[in-house]
Chain A
Amino acid sequence: MAAATAEIDAHKAIVEAAAVAARLDAEWLDLSMPGTAPLRGARHPLTVVEARCLAVLRQLGFTVVDGPEVETAYYNFDALNIPKHHPARDMQDTFWVSGGLLLRSHTTTVQARVLQSKPPLPIRVASMGRVYRNEAVDATHLAMFHQFEGIWIDRGLTFAHLKGVLAFVAKSLYGDHRVRFKPKFYPYTEPSVGVDLACTVCDTAGCDACHGAGWVTILGAGMVHPNVFREFGYDPAEVSGIAFGLGTARMAAQAAGVHKIRSLYETDLRVHAALRGAR
């Protein structure tokens, strides 16, 4: 009797297993078909880069300030040590709008407004956003693009501090690549500094990516010009400042391997879908 029961159980198990196997076989799904999870979109690569820059600056206590895009010549030029007919005005072909106003050509205007408002020291603010240049658009020139700037005002800030902050920012954003400092000219800073990063492709040997230079400029910076301080009632003998700007559009393009910055400003969503994976 027991043997018969065991034999029945064994057959039952075989039958059940066969049934399960048949069911599983019938339930075969073609997993080579594309997935059906809802596809995400993406933030713009520029927004991503700005967030990275801000995260770095927040470690140093920076906060974000904002300002108008339609400005007066005072905030865009005069207050920033760029008087009328100064050669530097050539560097920024300006969009003038009705009423003698203009579209800001740099986000330094925000810094001017911050200085004018005389917040307590230390001032550590970052400003970012759209800026405008009255230029014909081509692969590398845009009539509107983005800038990202920071300013640190306090007593006792030195050229060494400027270099320290710039090196910290560069290292935080780009890792352990070599950086070098070089003299530059910006009307609102003195001394002015350019920061180059060793080309991440050739490490200064020179290649197509860096146009043979071996270095890629990533930052423009300097000590706030005494005339800017005087303009807003600060005594440059008492107060000094660090100012710097990052070309976030170029950074975003570099990060995504985009050769034409204009691509970043197109509404072709094929580009943005590709950028999502590329960054």
Chain B
Amino acid sequence: MKISVDRLRQFVALPADPREVRVLFDDLGLEVKRVHADAAFGTCFTLELLANRGDHHGYAGLATEVRGRTAGGVCLPEVASLVVGPPPVELIDEAGELLLTYTATLLERSGSTSELDPEELLPILASGQEAVSAPVDATNVANLEFGQPTHAFDADCIDGAVIIRVAKPGEKAWPLFAKEPVTLPLGALVIADRSKVLAIAGVIGCEESKTTAATKRILLESATFDPVAVRKAARGLNVHTDSSARFERGGDPSAPLVGAGRVVHLLERHGWKRVGTTGVIGQWRDPARVITVSARALGLFLDHPLTATEAADRLRRYGFAVVEDGDALSVRVPTHRLWDVENFADLAEELAKSIGYNATAEGLPPVAMGSQPSASEQAKDRVDEVLVGNGFFEVFTDGFYARDVRERLGLSEGHALWSHVETDNAIDRGYSLLKNNTLAQAVDAVAVNLRLHTKAIRAFEWTRTFHPRGEGTAPDERKTLWAIACGAAPGASWAHDDRVADVHLAVGLVAEIAVELGLALTVGAPDPTHSLASLLHPNRQAAVRLGDQVVGVLGEVHPTVLTGFKIKRERPVYLQLDQDALLRAGAPAPFVEPPEVQVVTRDLAFTLPHRFAAADVAAVLATGPGVASVGVADSFAHEQDGKPVRTITYTLAFAPERTPTAEELNELVASLIQAVHERFGAQGVSLRA
């Protein structure tokens, strides 16, 4: 809402300096989004009004809010005193409780008419609207001044009675400014005559009954409608007007005569005159809501010294009628606040605003003890540290994606990842499916960065996937950590430290995470039932297990998946871990004192046949007496007898109780070689000469 500060000064006293007015407005919750210095209208404010305060949608309401703080008076514009009596046309209420109050006043031209004066037009011109004609302008001015929407019909376009009713199924109306008639939303409240819809109640008038330069008689409507009915109609039509904004927040059912009176006053100054009396119908009766509160309790709540008299005085400034009885206040809620004032807290808010939110006391409640991060929060931090230390950047991806992700992943119906939780009303097709996997977005992140010529790609995310569990049942939300790496490690390529990320990086990450969390995570045989099994390279994937439970998967992304994301050459490696399993309390490894004797090392190279796991040989070597550790020093792929083999060089560290002689050590090594041959010799494992 855009207002003229100078115009508002005619309603209520304001500080002379517009900057102080702005501070006051902000302090009252009338947030000034923009200040305009207008040559014609002086300082104007664009206000962001509170969503629950329909009464702020007019100068009078704003003035009342200011008065609540500053005391003093509010000066309202002149209003014609309307005489209620037989309606000028027959009024029929078929809307029941949806119609609160409806008034109809007939005016007709009386000799020559004129447009409104510039001074009268100021509220609408300052708001950015244009003057149209005296009848239309008068209704707009009244709305801006009093926050009471009114509407002028060409009375000679009305066919018989005026009926307030719910739209019939499939019924059409031609709203003002629309190119053609539109079908009305189900349940919309309309103002109609015997043959057509005259207006969508509280939202907008219609073309067929609008006033024109030729209009001789006006039927002036001033009413209040059920807020929800107006809201439904406005949303259904996607038409949002000043009137609907006002009514949706709850109109003042006692205000229609005031609003109509203001319009009549303006038009009577410009050549129009009333005909007959004003008809009033409607279901609304003032509930006379009274809230009884203790002034002392209000004072305690605000931590502000507050006598009953002061509290009553402050509330009266907002229009509340207050009866004091010692500490007890009986507070009668005015009709313009029936929609938002119901209880103690509402009155406390009024008083806080009157005193000033920044003028009341503040203090921390007593706090006995702070708190520490939970074990899972600490565990998450440690995992972050592993990943960040290895060059990974945390990212956040959407909780959903487009339907074509199935195609990009190469999924077919029946695949474990085919079924998704779907959004019903997404305004963008990119939001169609709640994600049931994180691989798609991880690979997409790689594709994005490759397009941007980023060579070292390392990203991770803590997120959730959603898995349907049946209609009407909340989906299974699984918390997941994923990480993806592609290309060289981030850093200086000139030092030739540019080994491309491969599955061994993922294996190493799991090992580091296991150490950090004290979890016995192992990387081993793939789990063919895992939902990602078919989306990773069949011979370059592994399952991550905690005990017997599969808690993750790692592997190189399957080439067909990469094709779906237009990745041609690169081989991203992907890691996914179940967050809940990962962040469960681990048991840190017990400290083992390093041996005091000099560690002796020996390298042993074994040639392993294709697909033979190096760890199996290492496991046998580790069983040797005095063997403290078995490491891998080198891996060399080559051919032997025309078959692909690998030669693995293991580094054995011996830490015996005493330093062995050379002979003893040779004997020990020979026994280990023998053990490996006995165990795996038949499978083709042999000592490399």
Contact = CB atoms under 8 A, between A and B. Distances in A.
Nearest to A99: B472
B353 interface: yes
A33 interface: yes
B365 A41 contact: no
Interface stretch (A4-12, A20-28, A65-73, A110-118): A65-73
Interface stretch (B72-80, B195-203, B256-264, B423-431): B423-431
Interface string A190-228: 111110100000000000000011010000000101100
Nearest to B483: A41
A71 B380 CA distance: 25
B284 to A, nearest CB: 19
Contacts of B323: none
Contact of A191 (B349, B452, B454): B349
B303 A160 contact: yes
Nearest to A54: B373
A20 to B, nearest CB: 27
Contact of B398 (A40, A144, A164, A215): A144
Residue among A54, A101, A156, A159 with the highest chain B CB neighbour number at 10 A: A159
B389 A60 contact: no
B84 interface: no
Interface string B422-441: 11111110010010000001
Contacts of B231: 85, 87
Nearest to B424: A96
Question: Per DSSP, are chain A's interface residues mostly helix, strand or loop, or mixed?
Answer: mixed
Nearest to B356: A181
Contacts of B457: 269
A97 B248 CA distance: 27
A183 interface: yes
A41 B348 contact: no
A229 B185 CA distance: 36
Interface in B300-346: 300-304, 343-346
Interface residues of B, number: 103
B348 A191 contact: yes
Given A41-B388, A212-B35, A267-B444, A272 B393 contact: yes
Contacts of A215: 26
Residue among A43, A91, A98, A267 with the highest chain B CB neighbour number at 10 A: A267
Contacts of A46: 396
Interface stretch (B212-220, B490-498, B625-633, B640-648): B490-498
A52 interface: no
Contact of B391 (A41, A58, A157): A41
A273 interface: yes
Interface in B377-428: 377, 384, 387-400, 421-428
B67 interface: no
B29 interface: yes
Given A36-B492, A159-B302, A95 B423 contact: yes
Interface string A25-44: 00000000111111111111
B389 A40 contact: yes
Given A87-B51, A270-B452, A97 B374 contact: no
Interface in A68-121: 68-72, 85, 87-88, 90-91, 94-101, 103
Contact of A183 (B232, B353, B424, B471): B353
Interface residues of A, number: 94
Contact of A69 (B33, B248, B352, B464): B464
B477 interface: yes
Given A64-B374, A88-B51, A167-B362, A41 B474 contact: no
Nearest to A62: B371
Contacts of A144: 396, 398-400
A167 B360 CA distance: 13
B471 A33 contact: no
A143 B364 CA distance: 36
A148 interface: no
B600 interface: no
Residue among A37, A40, A167 with the highest chain B CB neighbour number at 10 A: A40
Contacts of A98: 421-424, 468, 471
B377 A36 contact: no
A225 to B, nearest CB: 7
Given A63-B374, A70-B475, A269-B459, A185 B50 contact: yes
A71 B421 CA distance: 13
B358 interface: yes
Contacts of A139: none
Nearest to A93: B427
A190 B390 CA distance: 48
B398 A41 contact: no
A135 interface: yes
Given A63-B371, A272-B393, A135 B427 contact: yes
A158 B373 contact: no
Contacts of A87: 51-52, 227, 231, 248-249
A46 B441 CA distance: 19
B345 A160 contact: no
B371 A168 contact: no
Contacts of B396: 44, 46, 130, 144, 146, 264-265
Nearest to A191: B349
B240 to A, nearest CB: 10
Contacts, number: 272
B136 interface: no
Nearest to A193: B357
B27 interface: yes
Residue among A35, A97, A101, A156 with the highest chain B CB neighbour number at 10 A: A97
Nearest to A137: B428
A264 B452 CA distance: 17
Given A61-B371, A164-B363, A223 B232 contact: no
Nearest to B474: A70
Given A185-B53, A267-B459, A272-B393, A72 B345 contact: no
A244 interface: no
A103 B470 CA distance: 17
Contacts of B397: 265, 267
A223 B349 CA distance: 10
A161 interface: yes
A264 to B, nearest CB: 7
A226 to B, nearest CB: 6
Given A63-B371, A157-B365, A159-B348, A42 B393 contact: yes
Interface string B59-83: 0000000000000000000000000
Residue among A94, A264, A272 with the highest chain B CB neighbour number at 10 A: A272
Given A34-B492, A60-B370, A159-B352, A268 B53 contact: no
Contacts of A267: 395, 397, 441, 444-445, 448-449, 459
Contacts of B352: 159, 183, 191
Interface string B453-464: 010111110001
B529 interface: no
Contacts of A37: 491
B592 interface: no
Nearest to B464: A69
Sorted nearest first, the 4 A-B pairs with minimum C-beta distance are A183-B29, A160-B303, A163-B362, A191-B349
20 contacts: A39-B489, A39-B490, A41-B490, A61-B369, A62-B371, A68-B474, A70-B434, A90-B51, A95-B431, A96-B425, A144-B398, A144-B399, A159-B302, A159-B303, A160-B302, A180-B27, A185-B50, A191-B352, A265-B398, A267-B397
Interface of B: 26-29, 31-35, 50-53, 227-228, 231-232, 248-249, 300-304, 343-346, 348-349, 352-353, 357-358, 360-365, 367-374, 377, 384, 387-400, 421-428, 431, 434, 441, 444-445, 448-449, 452, 454, 456-460, 464, 466, 468, 470-475, 477, 489-492, 494-495, 497
Given A58-B373, A182-B26, 18 more contacts: A38-B490, A41-B392, A47-B394, A61-B368, A85-B228, A95-B431, A97-B424, A130-B399, A143-B398, A160-B360, A161-B364, A163-B361, A184-B50, A191-B348, A191-B352, A265-B398, A269-B454, A276-B393
